[in-house]
Amino acid sequence: MANYKETKPSGDAIHPRLDHVLLFIEETSRANDTVESVDKAWASDFRQWMAGRTDRVRSPSTIENSLIQLAAAIRFGGVEPGFTTIPTSEVNRTPQYRADIKTLAAMFRYALEPKKKRDNLLRYLRAAVATWARPDAIYDISTDPKRHQWHSRARVLALNPLGRKQTRKYRATIPVARQFAPHLDEAKGFYLPVDSIRSAWEAMADEIGLPKEGEAGTKLIRRSVAQIARARLGEEHWAQGRMMLGHHKASTSDIYALFDPANLGRALAVTEAIIDEIEALATGSYRADTAQADNVISIGVAKNG
C-alpha cells in the first residue's frame, strides 16, 4: 500500500483513505491477513467498524472511498480484489445547504475573534472564497517559485503546482481577486502552514450554528460561492463559473488574457464583489488596515497572510 500511495498524483486524497484501512487492521488485530483473505466479509466488517467509530461521524461515501482505494491498491499489486465496492454515486448524498453572504461573514467574524488565535482558519476562509477551490487544492497553494503557482505580476494562481499530474478533479489556473493578492504576496512558501483546519472549522460550525449531518463541511464555501456567483453571472456566463471550479478548462493559455470578460473576467468581478460584501459585514476579513485617505485604501498584511 505504501508504494501505491507514493506513486499516485492524488496522494493527498489517497493517504487518509488508506489510513482508515490501516487503523482498522491495527485495531481489529488483522496484521496477518493476506490479500486473498480481504473478501466480502472483510469489507463488510470494515464498513461496520467505520460506521461505528465515535471520534467523528463518517459519511457512507467516506467509508466506501476507503474501500475503493483499497481495491485500487490491491489491483496495483497485480491481484483482483475479493470484494466489490459500491459506486459513490449510489451512496453520496450531495449536501443541500448553502451559506449566504451573511453566514460567510459570520465565519470570518469568528475567525477574526481577537481573544483567540484562529489565523489558519482565517487564511483558509480567505483562500476558499477567493479561489472557489476544493480543500485539497487550498492546502496545496504555495508561493515557492519552483512550484510555478503564484504569478504575482499577472495576479494569476495555478491551483495545480508544476510537476503534479492533473486528476479527474481538475485544478484550474485562475485570476486572483484584488483583495486576496496581497496575502499571497506576503506568504513564504505554503500559504496555509497546516495540513488541516478541520477542528477549527468544526468549532466554528458549532459556534455559529451551521447545519450538521454532513451539510456543512469544509467544501461548503466552494459550493456556496458558486451558487451566489451563478445567480449573479446568469446562465449565459456560467461557463466562467465552471472554469473557476475546474469543471471546464479555460480556452486560453495566456495568463493575462484570463482577466478578459470573455474568459474569466466576469467571474473575477463577481468574486471581488462577494468579498467586498463580506468585508462590509466583517471588517478585516481581507483588509488588515482599512484606513482610507482620498479614496485610497491602504492594505497592510501580516507575514504569511
pLDDT at site 304: 38
For the segment 52-104, what is each residue's pLDDT rounded down to a tens digit?
A: 887 777 778 889 999 999 999 999 989 999 999 988 777 777 788 999 999 99
Give mean pLDDT, residues 49-54: 84
pLDDT at site 5: 45
For the segment 201-214, what is each residue's pLDDT rounded down to a tens digit?
A: 999 999 999 998 78
pLDDT at site 91: 73
pLDDT at site 252: 75
Q: Tell me which of 156 and 292 has the higher pLDDT.
A: 156
Judge whether residue 305 has pLDDT over 50: no
pLDDT at site 31: 92
Sign of the CA dihedral running 71, 72, 78, 80: positive
pLDDT at site 125: 98
For the segment 100-151, what is each residue's pLDDT rounded down to a tens digit?
A: 999 999 999 999 987 778 999 999 999 999 999 999 999 999 999 999 999 9
- Give Cα 253 to chain centroid, integer Å: 24
Q: Residues in the chain, how many? A: 305
Full DSSP string of the chain:
-HHHHHH-TTHHHHHHHHHHHHHHHHHTT-TT--GGG-BHHHHHHHHHHHHT-SSS---HHHHHHHHHHHHHHHHHTT---BS----HHHH---------HHHHHHHHHHHT-TTS--HHHHHHHHHHHHH---HHHHHT-B--GGG--EETTTTEEESS-TTPPP-SSPPPEEEPPTTTHHHHHH--SBSS-SS--HHHHHHHHHHHT---TTSSSTTHHHHHHHHHHHHHH-GGGHHHHHHHHTSS--S---GGGGGSTTTTHHHHHHHHHHHHHHHHHSTTSS-S---EETTEE-----TT-
Domains of the chain (ranges, CATH numbers): 2-91 (no CATH), 101-297 (1.10.443.10)
For the segment 10-25, what is each residue's pLDDT rounded down to a tens digit?
A: 455 688 889 999 999 9
Percentage of the chain exceeding pLDDT 70 = 90
Q: Phi and psi for 121 in degrees, rounded to 5?
A: -65, -40
**158 forms bridges with which residues in the sheet?**
173
Judge whether residue 191 has pLDDT over 50: yes
pLDDT at site 298: 32
Give mean pLDDT, residues 286-298: 47
Distances (CA, A) of 66 to 4, 20, 72, 94: 14, 7, 10, 18
Judge whether residue 7 has pLDDT over 60: no
For the segment 207-247, what is each residue's pLDDT rounded down to a tens digit?
A: 999 998 788 999 999 999 999 999 999 999 999 999 999 99
